Structure 1
């Protein structure tokens, strides 16, 4: 079972930017998105400082964020990647299952990826993620390349919003209607 304190600060920069973005969306009444807390089981607690010093994940998490945008349910996970090849093993089967069920309920599921080497934020549509997932499951490439992604889904900073993914959701919705 993975240890809570061994995870370090992986992904914290991306999550902080997403949290700031979500706060701005909420303040402007555009969306209400919440970070999904990962349930942990404390093992050791520093009684003097009342801090958890060792804990384990109680259960598998589904996605990092869930909420609603103008009446449309959304869920997404946030991932960071330092190179131009994203390993499919960074997405877990239970996440694919949850996102599949979420989409079946007329929600929108996606992944926000920060390619730190390129300083690029990217919105990966669920159907494209599923394509990469199925390719790996069927013996194909176990990762996808940055070059395989549609450049239209690259996220730009807009009006002081760091990870302005609402525009990408709108584009995703338009493509679903076509």
Structure 2
């Protein structure tokens, strides 16, 4: 049983930036992306404030976000690391399976990764992660080094959008 407590807020700043970006995309008619909540079962609830102080996850989550970008179905997960690596243990097998199935249906799956040590955000295609994932399963490296992240997919801000990741989706689609 996985419990939700203080660890549940990891990556919340990244998710706030993504949520703000997605709101701007919707307002501009560029994309419709929804945050997928992880179902939880409350254990402790403060009766006065109705705040949940302890809960457990009812089921495994799939991805953080799902939606459509100008006719293209997309799903993605947000990952943040304070290290020089993205640990693959932060990506779960059920997420990889969901993303693989999503792409088999013609959608595009990816990760938005924030390396806080460098204050840099990246679009990382699912297929790139999948390659590292397979090598790790076969006994290889269990992380992706920062220096191996494709700099072509660095995410910047533009037109009032702090994490303008649509440009990287376009670049990826054009390169397919």
- Place the TM-score, normalised by the shorter chain, in its bin: over 0.9
Residue of structure 1 in register with 2:113 after alignment: 113
1:147 counterpart SS class? helix
2:15 counterpart SS class? helix
Residue of structure 2 in register with 1:84 after alignment: 84
2:152 counterpart SS class? helix
**Alignment partner of 1:57 is 2:57:** yes
Identify which range, 55-64 or 141-150, moves more after superposition. Answer: 141-150
2:97 counterpart SS class? helix
Query: Runs of 4+ in structure 1 displaced over 3 angstroms?
Result: none
Provide structure 1 residue ranges, at least 5 long, that are not aligned to the other structure.
none
Residue of structure 2 in register with 1:102 after alignment: 102
* In 1, Cα distance between equivalents of 2:85 and 2:43: 36
* In 2, Cα distance between equivalents of 1:2 and 1:14: 22
TM-score normalised by structure 2 residue count: 0.97
TM-score normalised by structure 1 residue count: 0.96
Residue of structure 2 in register with 1:72 after alignment: 72
Q: How many residues align?
A: 176
1:59 counterpart SS class? coil
Residue of structure 2 in register with 1:36 after alignment: 36
Residue of structure 2 in register with 1:131 after alignment: 131
Residue of structure 2 in register with 1:153 after alignment: 153
Provide structure 2 residue ranges, at least 5 long, that are not aligned to the other structure.
none
1:7 counterpart SS class? helix
Residue of structure 1 in register with 2:141 after alignment: 141
Identify which range, 3-12 or 18-27, moves more after superposition. Answer: 3-12
Superposed displacement of residue 6, structure 1: 3.4
